[in-house]
Amino acid sequence: MVVRRSWVEQIMGLPVSVLARGEQAGSVRADAAVRAVFAELVEVDRVFSPYKSDSAVSRLARGELGWGDVDPVVRVVAERCVRAGELTGGLFDAELPGGGWDPSGLVKGWAVERAGERLREVPELDWCLNAGGDVLVVSPSDRSFTVGIQDPRDPELVVASLALTGGAVATSGTAARGAHLYDPRTGGPVETRWLSVSVSGPSLECADVLATAAFVAGEEWPGVLAALPGYEGLGILADGNLFATAGWPSRGAAAG
């Protein structure tokens, strides 16, 4: 019998879960690694949340901190946001139209991927780390995990699924947080007939950035994924129709 164990915590205002599989899943070492993952994500939320008044992001916005005063990890993320903007031709932009800085479109994927290194240290452990629908999978056994893509019209439904033995999936859209994304080209809210865009690929940080940029791009979103090799996408229209790029490894989505 394959040992399975799961953990879940509410972090960053969303459920973060770990599903582990294999002989090590029930071990003290695996439990300690998961607790370290959760602790690291709590710390990232403390530093980067735009909703916490004492976070570095909020204090930068109020002018209480300058860039020379922040923790080095904040500058690391800022540099990664600049590179993400260059990669996406400006479709990803952490600088807000009215002033201020919000790296949310990058920081969750970056943080989950970084925290996942704790789980990689547990030998022969298969695991799936899910942070509010952004998912990272590692499976040394080569047995797949099934990752579902949520229907943005009904959170109780799944419209497509992927069988992954490794890699990441990130989704951007309006289902979870409403119309919270803006278009750097206009400075206004994103206007699109797409409800969500999901991106699969090797890195969760890159998938997160590309999903955000693709959703902003609207009709041209499949072209955004060409910025990096190995990334594929699934878009969901307001009428429920799906469009997948040719390499999207999904069951239940029509390939475009």
| pLDDT recorded at residue 177 | 52
Please name the residue that has the structure tokens 């799906």.
242
| pLDDT recorded at residue 250 | 60
Beta bridge pairs of residue 255: 244
Whether the per-residue pLDDT at 157 is higher than 70: the answer is yes
pLDDT in tens, 227-248: 899 999 999 998 889 999 999 9
User: Which backbone phi and psi does 87 adopt, to 5 degrees?
Assistant: -60, -40
* Confidence grade of residue 167 (pLDDT, cut at 50, 70, 90): very high
Whether the per-residue pLDDT at 66 is higher than 70: the answer is yes
| pLDDT recorded at residue 87 | 96
Whether the per-residue pLDDT at 16 is higher than 70: the answer is yes
Return the CATH number of the domain spanning residue range 4-251: 3.10.520.10
pLDDT in tens, 215-227: 999 999 999 999 8
3-state SS, residue 170 = strand
Q: Which residue type, as a one-letter code, is found at position 115?
A: A
Contact assessment for residue 107 and residue 77, using Cβ atoms and an 8 Å cutoff: yes
Contact assessment for residue 9 and residue 45, using Cβ atoms and an 8 Å cutoff: no
pTM of the model: 0.92
- Kindly report each contact of residues 71-78 with a partner whose C-beta sits within 8 Å and lies 24 or more positions away, as own/partner: 71/47, 73/47, 74/47, 74/48, 77/48, 77/103, 77/106, 77/107, 77/110, 78/103
